[in-house]
Amino acid sequence: MSEKKSRRHVSFFGQKTNYPTLNHSIMDYRNKQILFFLFLLALPFGGLLAQNRIVVKGKVVDAKTQEPLPFASVFFKGTTTGTETDLDGLFEYSGRRASDTLAAAFMGYETQFIVLPPDVKTHEVTFALEEAGGFNLQEVVIKTSRKGYKRKGNPAVQLWRNVLAHVDENRPQRYDFYDYEKYEKIELALNNVDEKMKKKRAFKNFQFLFEYVDTSDLNGKPTLPVFIRETASHVYYRKDPEAIKEYRSGIKVSGLDDYLDKEDFTVVADYLYQDVDIYADKILVFDKQFPSPLGGFVANHTYRFYITDTLNYNGNDVIRLDFVPASKGDIAFEGYMYVKADSSYAVVKAELGVNPRVNLNFVNDLKFVQEFHQVGDVWVLNKDEIAIDFSPRKKGLGFLASRSVLYDEHRFNEPIADEKFKGTENVIEAEDAYAKGDDFWSTVRQEALSPTESGIYEMIDTLQKVPTFRAIANVGRLLFSGYQPVGPVDIGPVGAFYSFNAVEGFRGRLGGQTNLNFHPKIRLEGYGVYGFGDKRWKYAGGIMYSFRKNFEENPRHYLRFAYQHETKFVGQQLKFVAENNFFLSFKRGDDTRMMLLDSYLGEYFLEFDNNLSFLTTYNHVVRNPIGNFAFDFYDKETGEPASLSKVTTTELGFKARFAPNEQYIQTKNYRIPIYNKYPTFELEYKGGFKNLGSDYDYHRLTLKIFKRFFLSVLGTTRLELEGGRIWADGAPYFLLHLPQANQTYAYRTGYFNLMNYMEFASDKWGIVNIEHAFEGFFFNKIPLLKRLKLREVATFRAIYGGLDDRNNPNKNPELIQFLETNDGRKITYTLEGQPYMEASVGVYNIFKLLRVDLVQRLNYLDQPNVPTMFNVKGLAFRVGAKVQF
């Protein structure tokens, strides 16, 4: 079978770019795109029937002492629908009325029943349970108490230690090789729906949806399945050197084909439903690292453990070991494990959830369930389930996301060919993975689809034909992508249609690019813009040819040519957005120093399955100063002031980038990487050559490294390192290294937020950029801030460099000189004396959207245009948007 490596990308609205992946990531942008995908699905489904819903709140206490009973089961009689009390004995249930009688049960107590009046929708009840007598477990009397918790001499902690001591002998990783079959089913369903909306006129064309309404096993809410993905895989493991590869032979997706293609949803699904290993030290959930309850030293200080029951489960005598966070607001799980009541101490089942107090956005409920069974001498995972209930508002329209994985056909210590483990990709998809038919799926499904699940594929096809849905989805696409398809052309980006600056005045722009309806292998692009202040037209155009089946196919391989006649702020370098857009028009300081560029670009891009890519470029650029910018110098012969009208460069470039196992979100023109544990490397060379028409010879070499570190309860750190060198003799300073400065009032990750454009020039430099998000580690311990779910962030960034004498205008009057302010002060400096440094502390997750940073510029405070606040030089607030789970 032919195979291809999984490119792990997402391209919203089926629109993919042809540009190489950028090295930096914007985490909140990725989350905005994922949330939009969910929003898009929710748009037409506002009116589902909320079937017999009720709300029950209350507590469960000891009838004699009135002490709360934590982890007591509260459920509807004769069903498994219900909930569990927290550490304070409190519970809340919101969902369907499964029966008229509510029960509360706790080990060692008599079960109590309360009848709920059928005509009442909201109830408050108190269960006072009578003690039925204690019990013995291995000659130890078990008593659950939240007060005076001690680890020393605690039988629950000793049981936990015994589980850890036997991990290696119970896991299949003890063998040199093993492999198994894997069947995965992922579903997305709407919940928290409003009955009134069903009767609204706008939803009259969606009545067919009600045939698919079901009930959630997570919380009893009525749900409407709207999306399903099935995956059939074979997984191979090798111990030395350790490697694990998943070969996906079949993938079946119910897709909104006009808005999200099938491969695109795979990345969103893999992000929402990441594999959980309960034996690992840390478990990644929504980009946050939760300490595993079996994570050793950290787990022992993060969790409290309680033995709460003994029972027989699936023919195994087990001990129920409950665990809860030692601090209620910490990022940690709560749940239980069934531990085999013999000398193996194997985990037979584990259920993990999160307390509502945990600082997670949009997530109302979350549950992981894993079941293990014995095969030979080891215990292997045979069923893995995830259910997540999330919504923008707790009681508003939301989603139930679920994942069910079945494992079978385990084989141990049968040697596996080295060929299976080649390459850096962990997931490999067969070429025909998305083309498998019904016969294939009837064979590989380890569990048959329910009638509702089988009907989702047909329902989605019907939905896409409803004009109301298409109209709403098209509006959503325009708002979030910035482009509007019109036949074979996508018009946009709309954010760049209007912008302004001091030199050009109001800029009106119209542009677009062709899509696959025009030609599968050729894409045309272009725009025109008119400045009403300078009375000048600017424009651009380009053509790209793909060597793949179409220009959306990954990995990319294309040839592109483009011409641009456009203005540019010297020193402004932007990631993931158009340079001239409305929001970036607001700037502090002087915004009159610009260039008018005529650029002729040719590029060849080749990308491989292992995320190694190469970009070769030719770029001929003619730069003309406009506004208050000038190419002034002193004549070498006469010493008199002179000026150049233009500077021409002809560059050849080569860039290699390696990003193992990278996933990314695809916007129209950029790939935004999704962080993982792997570093990324980027090495780039650019050279100017006089014999190709350049005014200067120069050679520039840059190395960039990016890595993200997950520090469990302490949060996450992103580290960017950059080093570079330019070899030149008298090159203009604006062709040298100008740091990424930010003169807007918005906070920009990875930029020097209080540095000015062109403030420093270097031909050798090193940059360190560190940002640590504490994820509420400190605020969660302060009651008021804990309730607001605010999160802390701190950053430090610095650049140190130098400028050779031969490239320094201060030492060579014949070179193009640094510009000056009106009072004669230089606006560009060198970094010979000390590095430039910035630090900031900030708060984000304000209204789940905003980020506010207090930024301090630590040195070079006497230079022009340094912000001042509270009479402190170099101090300023910066505000940004940051969306995270």
Contacts of 788 (CB under 8 A, 6+ apart): 779
What residues are paired with 569 via a beta bridge? 594
How much is the pLDDT for 28?
A: 47
pLDDT at 425 over 90: no
Band the pLDDT of 297: cuts 50, 70, 90. confident
Question: Which CA distances in Å does 692 have to 619, 696, 785?
Answer: 11, 10, 61
Q: In the numeric block, which tokens belong to residue 226?
A: 């709207």
- pLDDT tens, 142-186? 344 445 677 888 899 999 999 999 999 999 999 999 999 999 998
Sorting pLDDT into bands at 50, 70 and 90, what band is 728? very high
As a whole number, mean pLDDT of residues 649-660 equals 95
Percent of the chain at pLDDT exceeding 70: 81
Residue 38 pLDDT = 54
Residue 11 has pLDDT above 60, yes or no: no
For 688, the enclosing helix (H) or strand (E) is strand 680-688
Mean pLDDT of the chain: 82
Closest to 884 (Cα-Cα) out of 846, 848, 842, 843: 848
Amino acid (one-letter) located at 171: R
Q: Which helix (H) or strand (E) holds 99?
A: none
Which pLDDT score, from 0 to 100, does residue 759 have? 92
**In terms of pLDDT, which residue wins out, 310 or 99?**
310
Amino acid at 618: Y
- At residue 39, the pLDDT reads 52
The letter for the amino acid at 799 is I
Q: Which of 117-121, 172-176, 189-193, 600-604 is least confident?
A: 189-193
What is the DSSP annotation of 534-568?
A: TTEEEEEEEEEEESSSSTT-SS-EEEEEEEEEEEE
pLDDT more than 90, % of the chain: 42
Copy the structure tokens of residue 172: 């299949």
Residue 139 has pLDDT above 70, yes or no: no
Q: Report the 10 Å Cβ neighbour count for 58.
A: 20
Which residues share a beta bridge with 321?
A: 307, 337
b/e string for 768-794 if b means 16 or more Cβ within 10 A?
A: bbbbbbbbbbebbeeeebbebbbbbbb
- Residue 84: what pLDDT? 81
**Assigned token pair, 143:** 């008593």
725 versus 386: the higher-pLDDT residue is 725
Asked if 544 and 555 touch (Cβ cutoff 8 Å), the reply is no
- pLDDT score of 55 more than 90: no
Say whether pLDDT at 431 is over 90: no
Mean pLDDT of 721-737: 96
- Is the pLDDT at 224 greater than 70? The verdict is yes
Q: Which two tokens stand for residue 85?
A: 């009390």
Interhelix angle 27-42/262-272, rounded to 10 degrees, is 110
Mean pLDDT of 220-241: 84
Find, among 425, 422, 420, 419, the residue nearest to 660 by Cα: 425
| pLDDT mean over 560-573 | 85
Mean pLDDT, rounded, for 592-616 = 93
| Distance between CA atoms of residues 230 and 282, nearest Å | 27
Helix axes 467-481 and 27-42, enclosed angle (nearest 10): 170
Per-residue pLDDT tens digits for 446-459: 888 887 778 777 77
DSSP 33-67: HHHHHHHHHHTT------TTEEEEEEEEEETTT--
pLDDT at residue 6 is higher than 70: no
- Kindly report the number of other CB atoms within 10 A of residue 246's CB atom: 18
The tens digit of pLDDT for each residue in 248-260 reads: 999 988 766 566 5
List the beta strands (DSSP E) in 63-176: 73-76, 82-84, 90-96, 101-105, 112-115, 122-129, 136-137, 140-141
Contact 330, 184 (CB under 8 A): no
DSSP tag of 421: G
Q: Report the b/e string of 616-630 with b at 16+ CB within 10 A.
A: ebebbbbbbbbbebe
Who's near 784: CB < 8 A, 6+ residues apart? Answer: none
**Among the residues of 752-848, which ranges form H helices?**
783-788
Categorize the per-residue pLDDT at 541 as very low, low, confident or very high, splitting at 50, 70 and 90. very high
Report the C-alpha gap between 606 and 556 in whole angstroms.
6
3-state helix, strand, coil in the chain (%, to 5): 15, 45, 40
Question: 467-500, pLDDT tens digit by residue?
Answer: 777 777 777 677 767 788 899 999 988 888 888 8
